[in-house]
Chains A and B, each alone.
Chain A
């Protein structure tokens, strides 16, 4: 309406000014002016209408966006409430939420199906919508905090239950410590919102599921091993039940019972496996002198093997045997490498290398073979390698140190006319004396004493 009044006013004003100008300046000047003014006014009103319609559109979009946000928030909370309903009674909260929704509908922002009411929102100002949105946000937040309080407690309770169950499994001897630690980590995660709590619960259940799965596999292995020794079909049945009801905490007791009973049948196989691995590792340690890095790893593995004392831990020896095979190959390769380095050095020192290297025999070591067979041939190969190595090591030591020892021998001979192996104060003393006598015709070796001739 205002636009028309303004236009009328402008027209009247223009006419008045036109008459005044006409009286003062004459007709031709005024007609130019009039045409110019009319054109500019037309242009201005065009620009104005275009600008106006554009801002109107922006406002509408903004309103829709705010309402969409409200809608999302309401729906998310509704969904989360439904998800939480399996552990706590969410009826009263649902009721409150419905109230909030009804309010929004009755004020005309939403239709009965809770869709944005685009026809009506034209007539509501942006400010009013913003105010409404802030109010609803506030309501939703206080509602959620009530839910978090009661659901949080329930989740904490469930987590504790899972943790207790997992701990029992760990203490019962299942090797699931890693899974248990992970579960503890999940249980101690902070959760501030309902969303966080739901996520925490989901991950907790998942992790517990993994843990139980491992226990089941372990129990299955033990049962299979024990089948040759005793009748364990009743335990198999128990285990089947566990598989069907894994998420139930009572299954823990079944698992523990299966494990402890089957263990009692496994004492002999367990002791045999342990003995076998330990004996093998001991022999490896004997043969690996001079290879400190490998020995360190071997010692650790041996400690680990020794730490298993419960027949239920029979499964562990699978991985220990695997590891022992791997270490065998590693040690054999390290030995072969060192041997060829020493060979090279001996060649440089102009010493003949006796005996062909045992390095070629590494191909006899096939880790796919059964452990007992593997161990038998591995010990043979390692023994050969160790002998090759120590022979060369000694040769190199002697060759490298001979010049220094030669000077000492010469001096002692010059001083006293004789020197015995004991007086020399060096390792491989007799060998050094022999070498000396070979290259110094003035000296003769009599037993362990070197003398100057004449």
Chain B
């Protein structure tokens, strides 16, 4: 039984990514389980956020027509969206949860299926609504909807140069994806940083729409590899429970994808491919602070059946890689080889987790603080940013960061070996 996936994308940027993925890959593990959520766009046309995609790929308009009726849900009452205010985005989702729930129910998910929620973290709509929706669907989905425990989240961090409110939103959004009302929220939080992706891709200039498009294409490739182990070509399925259960138990659930695509297996060894992927983290990661890694390798089928690339090789190489790249060799490592027919190159995804959040916080904190301190408690009730709540979110995030750092430190110091002595073994 292959794992079935569904995608729920909220907000403008997320809509683009989810739609692009659906239209480009038509993945059998997803079929048509893609739901686009948004607040009222300025001109009332649900496809408005997608116009920039149609501009470069007009043939995709057809694909949109296929899902327009059942898979696009506009919620909320504000005349022009959440206006970059996540509190408003969250309020609208709460008020309209019933209609959102009906759309989700129409995806006909079973409790063993996996949901991937996508949102940008700099805006108001997606960032406000998705954490709330994840919380509801995992804890208290309401009538006609099964609880889906495997709800993963993909959050897109704003560019370094964006304004203070965007970074304020991002920090609040990250905190709410990790914990919501005092409970763990998304089963896994995958972070992608716009500026970092552009650095990796070497994008320096260009129209905004074009730049988003390139980043989004990189993101959908990531999603594809993320889902690949659920395909029937997989050699050693990473059971989807592995994606979240162990990190949840450990307490650190944030990850970032490291991609290396189109590798020539005649020239590059698996070592070199992993090496090249680990240089391409999609969020700022401090070297050697990662503590967990899921590695997915999609290789040409004939090289796998011909025995040139095997699951065992991959595990050996991954072990070697981990000893050089993870803190104290890490605590978790899964590898999955996917033998895809019809491809000639090798794609590698390393989902690197538990790394120090320093790099991410560093660039946002200053702007975050500046925006927070400017808040005066004005605005009407529904959209007011409650400073006490912000303080609670801050506290949650601090605690999470402390836990992460502690784990990294423990692994680095090799404290694990101390236990041997505790069990009565003498030192080596």
Whether chain B is bound by chain A comes out as yes
Residues of A whose CB lies within 8 Å of any CB of B are 397-398, 400-401, 404-405, 407-408, 411-412, 424-428
B-chain residues with CB within 8 Å of residue A411 when the two chains form the complex: 275, 279
Q: Which residues of A contact B362 (CB under 8 A)?
A: none
Q: Is the CB of B269 within 8 A of A400?
A: no
| Chain B interface main SS type | mixed
Q: Which residues of A contact B276 (CB under 8 A)?
A: 404, 407-408
Return 17 A-B CB contacts under 8 Å, by A number.
Answer: A397-B264, A397-B267, A398-B267, A401-B267, A401-B268, A404-B260, A404-B263, A404-B268, A405-B267, A407-B276, A408-B272, A408-B275, A411-B275, A425-B268, A425-B275, A426-B268, A427-B266
Answer yes or no: B113 CB below 8 A from chain A CBs.
no
Report how far A411 CA is from B260 CA in the complex, Å: 15
Residue B32 CB within 8 A of the other chain: no
Among B260, B272, B276, which residue has the most Cβ atoms of chain A within 10 A?
B272
A-B pairs with CB below 8 Å: how many?
38
> Complex: how many Å from CA A51 to CA B303?
90
Give complex CA distance A450, B271 in Å.
Answer: 19
Provide the B250-266 mask, 1 if CB < 8 A to any CB of A, else 0: 00000000001001101
List chain A residues, Cβ under 8 A from B266: 397, 427
Closest to B270 in A: A425
- Chain A residues whose C-beta falls within 8 Å of the C-beta of B268 in the assembled complex: 401, 404-405, 425-427
Nearest-CB distance from B198 to chain A (Å)? 16
The answer to whether A401 and B271 have CB atoms under 8 Å apart is no
Q: Which residues of B contact A412 (CB under 8 A)?
A: 275
- Sorted nearest first, the 6 A-B pairs with minimum C-beta distance are A425-B271, A425-B272, A425-B269, A401-B267, A427-B267, A426-B272
Q: Once bound together, how far apart are the Cα atoms of A408 and B269, in whole Å?
A: 12
How distant is the Cα of A162 from the Cα of B260 in the complex, in angstroms?
70
List the A side residues contacting B264 at CB < 8 Å.
397, 400-401
Chain A hits for B279, CB < 8 A: 407-408, 411
Report the interface size class on chain B.
10 to 19
With the chains together, A230 CA to B260 CA distance in Å? 72
Q: Smallest Cβ distance from A413 to chain B, in angstroms? A: 12
- Closest chain-B Cβ to A193's Cβ sits at a distance in Å of 55
A426 to B216, CA, bound (A): 30
Q: How far is the CA of A426 from the CA of B267 in the complex (A)?
A: 6
> Whose C-beta in chain B lies nearest to the C-beta of A410?
B279
State in angstroms the CA–CA spacing of A87 and B349 once bound together: 82
Which B residues lie within 8 Å of A424 (CB)?
Answer: 272
- In the complex, the answer to whether B275 meets A428 with C-beta atoms within 8 Å is no
For B272, list chain A residues within 8 Å (CB). Answer: 405, 408, 424-426
Expressed in whole angstroms, the Cα–Cα distance for A407 and B201 within the complex equals 12
Knowing A407-B276, A408-B276, A411-B279, the reply to whether A428 touches B271 (Cβ < 8 A) is no
Which residues of B line the A interface, CB within 8 A? Answer: 260, 263-264, 266-269, 271-272, 275-276, 279
A2, B271: Cα distance in complex, Å: 118
**What are the residues of chain A within 8 A of B260 when measuring CB–CB?**
404
Docked CA distance A189–B272 (Å): 66
B269 engages A428 (CB within 8 Å): no
Question: Which residues in A have their C-beta under 8 angstroms from that of B271?
Answer: 425
Assembly CA distance A412 to B263 (angstroms): 18
Tell me how far the C-beta of A338 lies from the nearest C-beta in chain B, rounded to whole angstroms: 15
A411 to B278, CA, bound (A): 10
Distance (whole angstroms) from the CB of B221 to the closest CB of chain A: 16
Minimum CB distance partner of B272 in chain A: A425
Query: In the complex, what residue of chain B is closest to A402 when comparing beta carbons?
Result: B267
Q: How far is the CB of A368 from chain B (nearest CB, A)?
A: 39
Closest to B260 in A: A404
Closest A residue, CB atoms, query B261 = A404
Question: Which chain B residue lies CB-closest to A397?
Answer: B267
Shortest C-beta distance, A123 to chain B (Å), equals 85
Distance in angstroms from A249 CB to nearest chain B CB is: 54
The one of A404, A407, A426 in contact with B269, judged by C-beta atoms closer than 8 angstroms, is A426
Residues of A within 8 A of B263 (CB): 404
Question: CA separation between A401 and B276, bound complex, in Å?
Answer: 12
The residue in chain A whose Cβ has the minimal distance to the Cβ of B269 is A425
Question: 13 extra interchain contacts, Cβ-Cβ under 8 A, other than A401-B268, A407-B276?
Answer: A398-B267, A404-B260, A404-B263, A404-B268, A405-B267, A411-B279, A412-B275, A425-B269, A425-B271, A425-B275, A426-B269, A427-B266, A427-B268
Q: How far is the CA of A405 from the CA of B279 in the complex (A)?
A: 12
| Distance of B287 from chain A, by nearest CB (Å) | 8
Residues in B neighbouring A407, C-beta threshold 8 A: 276, 279
In Å, the complex CA distance between A428 and B264 comes to 13
> How far does the alpha carbon of A398 sit from the alpha carbon of B266 in the complex, in Å?
11
Give the Cβ gap from B41 to chain A, nearest Cβ, in Å.
Answer: 40
Interface hub of A397, A398, A408 (most chain B Cβ within 10 A): A408
* Complex alpha-carbon distance, A412 and B324, angstroms: 12
Closest to B200 in A: A407
Q: Which chain B residues lie closer than 8 Å to A397 at the CB level?
A: 264, 266-267
B262 to chain A, nearest CB (A): 8
Instruction: Among A400, A401, A428, find the residue whose CB has the most chain B CB atoms closer than 10 A.
Output: A401
* Bound complex: CA A257 to CA B361 (Å): 96
Distance of A410 from chain B, by nearest CB (Å): 9
Closest-by-CB residue of A relative to B275 is A408
A425 and B275 CA atoms in complex are apart in Å by 10
Closest residue on chain B to residue A412 by CB atoms: B275
User: For the complex, what is the distance from the CA of A408 to the CA of B260, rounded to whole Å?
Assistant: 11
Q: A405–B268 Cα gap in the complex (Å)?
A: 8
CA distance A398 to B264 in the complex (A): 10
**Bound complex: CA of A154 vs CA of B333, how far in Å?**
81
Question: Nearest Cβ distance between residue B16 and chain A, in whole angstroms?
Answer: 28
| Alpha-carbon separation in the docked complex, A454 to B300 (Å) | 43
Which partner residue on chain A sits nearest B279 by CB separation? A411
Instruction: List the A side residues contacting B275 at CB < 8 Å.
Output: 408, 411-412, 425
Which residue of B is nearest A423, CB measured? Answer: B271
**In whole angstroms, how far apart are the Cα atoms of A408 and B263 in the complex?**
13
- Min distance, Cβ B22 to any Cβ of chain A, angstroms: 29
Nearest CB of B to A240, in Å: 58
Closest CB of chain B to A343's CB: distance in Å? 19
The docked-state distance in angstroms from the alpha carbon of A411 to that of B267 is 18
A356 to B372, CA, bound (A): 70
- Point out the residues of chain B lying under 8 angstroms from A404, CB to CB: 260, 263, 268, 276
CB distance from A427 to the nearest CB of B (A): 5
Cα of A400 to Cα of B271 in the assembled complex, Å: 19
* Smallest Cβ-Cβ distance to A415: which chain B residue: B287
Q: How far is the CB of A187 from chain B (nearest CB, A)?
A: 45
Give the residue name and chain of the B residue nearest to A432 (CB).
B267
* Chain B residue contacts of A405, Cβ below 8 A: 267-268, 272
Among residues of A, the one whose C-beta sits closest to the C-beta of B262 is: A404
* Shortest distance from the beta carbon of A425 to any chain B beta carbon, whole Å: 4
| Nearest Cβ on chain A to B203's Cβ, whole angstroms | 15
User: With a CB–CB cut-off of 8 A, which chain B residues contact A400?
Assistant: 264
With both chains docked as a complex, state the minimum distance between the C-beta of A393 and any C-beta of chain B, in angstroms.
Answer: 9
A425 to B267 Cα, complex, angstroms: 9
Using CB atoms, name the residue of chain A closest to B268. Answer: A426
Cα distance, A426 to B276, chains bound together (Å): 12
Residues of chain B contacted by A408 (CB below 8 angstroms) = 272, 275-276, 279
Which of chain A's residues has its CB closest to B265's CB? A427
